[in-house]
Amino acid sequence: MNDQYSNFRGFAIIPLPAFRDNYLWLLRRGDDAAVVDPGDAAVVEDYLAQHGLELRAILLTHHHPDHIGGVAELVAHRNIPVYGPAAAGIHETNRPVAEGDEVVLEQLGIRFHVLEVPGHTATHVAYFAPGILFPGDTLFSAGCGRLLGGTAAQLHHSLGRLAALPGETAVYCTHEYTLANLAFAHAAEPENRERDAWEAECRALRDAGRPTLPSTIERERRINPFLRTTETAIVGTAAAHSGKRPETSEECFAALRAWKDVF
């Protein structure tokens, strides 16, 4: 799974599995690399050493330990930029970012736009460049993050922002939650042929030992119940589960998120 996985404008995007279900995404162009949310330093160091790479930058989406736990070790003997949400107060961050900022990785030839996407946490950010998105724990394939510091209203708004990105945008989520999320998606929207086709594809990928990621924004619009909170079928199942019919998309989202928490 650690071989070159996908290409974007001349650089490789490689999933480094960590812990039980995390992916640390490593961007590589030639001998230069950057990594997103390195919760485990050893996984990153092993890959860098194996392939003779120089780590040039670290990008952080939020403060949870499985996303930042390896940073201190990675920067102990390196003088490199560590980008992270300014409001999160992550100690190792030396390049704090906020909404509208840009992150320029010159060696990799890419410029990311910073999007503030609170909800999972109150200070979460995502990194977007045309064609690519690192959403942290805000958006998963067929799912979204739990509310661990933010509010349902915040997360609903943040997901709406991500759903409005171009459909071809590749979404590099940070956890292998897809099959579990698809089980809930089936409960929330029993009839969705595109979702069922994606589930079959994902099962084949996992059987082959491959990630189900990246997804795309267009696919998520079509199969992710948390992005489909105006669909009649989903409003109906949310109402049936909660005992109260949602009056707005935001209310439907909150009902779905509460349901998923106990699913």
pLDDT given at position 253? 98
pLDDT given at position 74? 98
Q: How far apart (Å, rounded) are the C-alpha atoms in residues 263 and 241?
A: 11
Q: Mean pLDDT per 10-residue run, the chain (263 residues)?
A: 58 95 97 98 98 98 98 98 97 97 95 98 97 97 98 98 97 98 98 98 96 97 98 98 97 98 97
pLDDT given at position 11? 87
pLDDT given at position 10? 80
- CA 169 to each of CA 135, 193, 244: distance values in angstroms, whole numbers, following the listed order: 11, 22, 35
pLDDT given at position 5? 60
Residue 12 lies in a domain: yes
Q: How far apart (Å, rounded) are the C-alpha atoms in residues 69 and 107?
A: 25
Residue 103 lies in a domain: no
Q: Choose among 87, 89, 107, 108: nearest CA to 98.
A: 87
Same domain, 135 and 208: yes
Domain that holds residue 230: 111-263
Same domain, 12 and 74: yes
Residue showing tokens 């509208």: 100
What is the set of active-site residues? Answer: 62, 64, 66-67, 120, 137, 175
Same domain, 117 and 91: no
